[in-house]
Chain A
Amino acid sequence: MDGLLLLEQTFNGLQFGVMLFLMAAGLTLVFGIMDMVNLAHGSLYMVGAYIATTFTQWTGSFVLGILLAVPATALVGIAVEVVVLRTLYDRDHLDQVLATFGLILFFNELVRTVWGPAALFSDIPAFLQGQVEIIPGVPYPAYRLAIIGVGLAVALALYLIVSRTRMGMLIRAGASNREMAGALGVNIKLLFTLVFGLGAAFAGLAGMMTGPITTVEPGMGDPILILAFVVIIIGGIGSVRGAFVAAILVGLVDTIGRAFLPQFFRLFVADSTADAVGPAVASMLIYILMAAVLFFRPQGLFPARTG
């Protein structure tokens, strides 16, 4: 019984992890290649969720809604890159932090003004409702399985892009040594814009997929942004592989911690103390994980930069 629960919780952690990966992938690419701290990445997650919800309502089809919303979010990302972020590449990180923090405020307020302050209704499409028995006795929501599937597919696609295409070659070159990428004589400006659009599309996709299970509301991207930063720091900035490993790690640690820490503490201390300590430690767990990783590996698990 406990084994089955552990398995189910592992699926939960995996699902959370792939979601985080979608967020972190774009963030780590933008950070690694352009050396750009983009706090507004969470806003793209939110914008993606809002656009997808709206398109779904218009078209009546969840799939169509997402198919339309992914390029739309990419376009929003590209617009942000061209209008604001492009001028910030040669600034130091603090200027970038401040300006993109301004963008967060702006986007939260924009969404609130356009769609209203109330949370939007967003539901799982009919064909993904219900449960699937992953193994006999463990029913699991079909939609969450779909998230895992989409997430892994995107991870695989990204892996193929990075390792097999010319753009991927440039991305890798850029992440490890920016001057070199410039020296290769490619149109860096265009590359940056494309990468940013790609990152925005991933973040938007994460928001779209999460929308039906959580809340589509102003500011929904802020908490997930911090988590995504934790992921790319643990993974090593600029490393897509690191982001994937770290996202799954954070997903599993957070989920398993929430599920089992209170019981674990009950083995040692009184129930009431365990009830107080368990959730508190569970909330801190990923931060403790990050601090521990950085203690032993100050550049994260997979440092991408060589120079």
Chain B
Amino acid sequence: MKKKLVGLVSALALLATPSLAADKVKVGFIVTLSGPAGIIGKHMKDGFELGLEHVGGKIGGLETEVIFGDDQRKPDVAKQLVDKMIKRDRVQFVTGVIWSNLMMAIHGPVTRSDTFLISSNAGPSPIAGKRCSENFFSVSWQNDQTPEAMGKYLQDKGIDNVYLMAPNYQAGKDMLAGVRRYYKGKVAGQVFTKLGQQDYSAELSTLRAAGPDAVFVFLPGGMGINFVKQYAQAGLKDSIPLYTAFTADAVTLPAQKDAALGVLGTQTWSPDLANPVNKRFVADFRAKHGYIPSFYAAQAYDTVRFLDAAVAKVGNVSDRDALRAAMRAGDFPNTRGSIKFNNNHFPIQNFYMREVVKQDDGSFTTKIRGIVFPAYGDSYAKDCKMSW
């Protein structure tokens, strides 16, 4: 037994290959890859890899090593991954992160170390406000912005008597609060459903009985597939328009298909955005991976382009202040056209209304129907003491 552990310790020592080559770019990329929840992680990893391909495998022209980590959607596993990436692999950047609770778990440990944390998706409000950090950047969005855009749209269109629904967890509550920050009309009902709920029959019956003029839901992933299908099956889609956030996208559309046709949702990105970077991204992504990219994939792709631009400008990865300044400058080639950074290091960008459409080849995608918020920053930036 003793022999065994001694062997283990020396094996661990061998695994450690201390490399302090200062001009080698080391990036940790953390998403959920294994297990049933792995689909979003796959989208993001595919987007990230395409980004690497587009920069010739060298971020900022320097030799680049990417360490992919699977967080299993467990906060403590994510925390251990970043420990490993920072202390063993000695990365300069930790990127990825799908889930808000995982972001909350690693935000402190990463930003306190001399490592940059770049969120490719999660954007919970505490780290946009009081807990903002100079070592953190988001190339996605702050959680509240997307529903805020939806609230503004509903308000501007004069839609009244809206029924609101979201899962009973923090993001769900933030989403409905976000809608109501801009939507001031009558609320026909507000329902929080079970996290991971599969059957919405009870909620749909109650909804029908409430007789709203419009419905807003935030039901990401499998919940969105369930709800959108059941909403259509209950015959409600034709009578009450459905507005969404993160409920109908390239991850869920292949399973929703016609049930989602015509569903509206706000987002910072859509496959049909007509800028050259996005056109190349979407075309190459479909060619390489064989499916339509989602915003998750686009954001992961943008993460690479963001790092590439900053590192290229500085020329090394050891001058952290210069890197920070370069990152703050924004204006890197990205799929959304233009991204600037707020004082809290969250993007200022456009929010669009997208509609689900059917393409000639029978696949489903989203098309931009208009800008709701041009160059929109989040509402927590004012709580962030950082200024530059």
Contacts and interface: CB of A to CB of B under 8 A. Distances in A.
A123 interface: yes
Contacts of A283: 168, 194-195
Given A9-B205, A112-B38, A117-B42, A279 B254 contact: no
B338 interface: no
A96 interface: no
A218 B255 contact: no
Given A213-B199, A279-B192, A108 B36 contact: yes
Given A112-B38, A259-B203, A262-B191, A215 B225 contact: yes
Given A5-B206, A118-B254, A215-B198, A130 B36 contact: no
A16 B39 contact: no
Interface stretch (A70-78, A138-146, A177-185, A194-202): A138-146
A61 interface: no
B359 interface: no
B229 interface: yes
Interface string B215-251: 0000000100110011001110000000000000001
B316 interface: no
Interface SS of chain A = helix
B202 A219 contact: no
Given A119-B252, A141-B233, A218 B36 contact: yes
A165 interface: no
A81 interface: no
Contact of B254 (A5, A121, A129, A282): A121
Given A217-B222, A259-B202, A121 B257 contact: yes
B226 A213 contact: yes
B374 interface: no
A280 interface: yes
- Report which residue of A8, A130, A216, A223 has the largest number of chain B beta carbons within 10 angstroms of its beta carbon: A8
- Report which residue of B38, B168, B201 has the largest number of chain A beta carbons within 10 angstroms of its beta carbon: B201
B36 A217 contact: yes
A120 interface: yes
A12 interface: yes
B276 interface: no
Interface in A222-268: 222-224, 255-256, 258-259, 262
B14 interface: no
A186 interface: no
Nearest to B36: A219
A224 B199 CA distance: 11
B318 interface: no
Interface of B: 35-39, 42, 168, 190-196, 198-199, 201-203, 205-206, 209, 222, 225-226, 229-230, 233-235, 251-252, 254-259, 291
Given A119-B39, A214-B198, A215-B226, 20 more contacts: A1-B209, A5-B209, A8-B205, A12-B199, A108-B35, A121-B254, A122-B255, A123-B257, A131-B234, A141-B234, A141-B235, A143-B233, A212-B229, A213-B226, A215-B255, A256-B202, A259-B202, A262-B192, A275-B190, A278-B192
For the complex of A and B, the 4 pairs showing the least CB-CB separation, nearest first, are: A219-B36, A119-B255, A12-B201, A279-B192
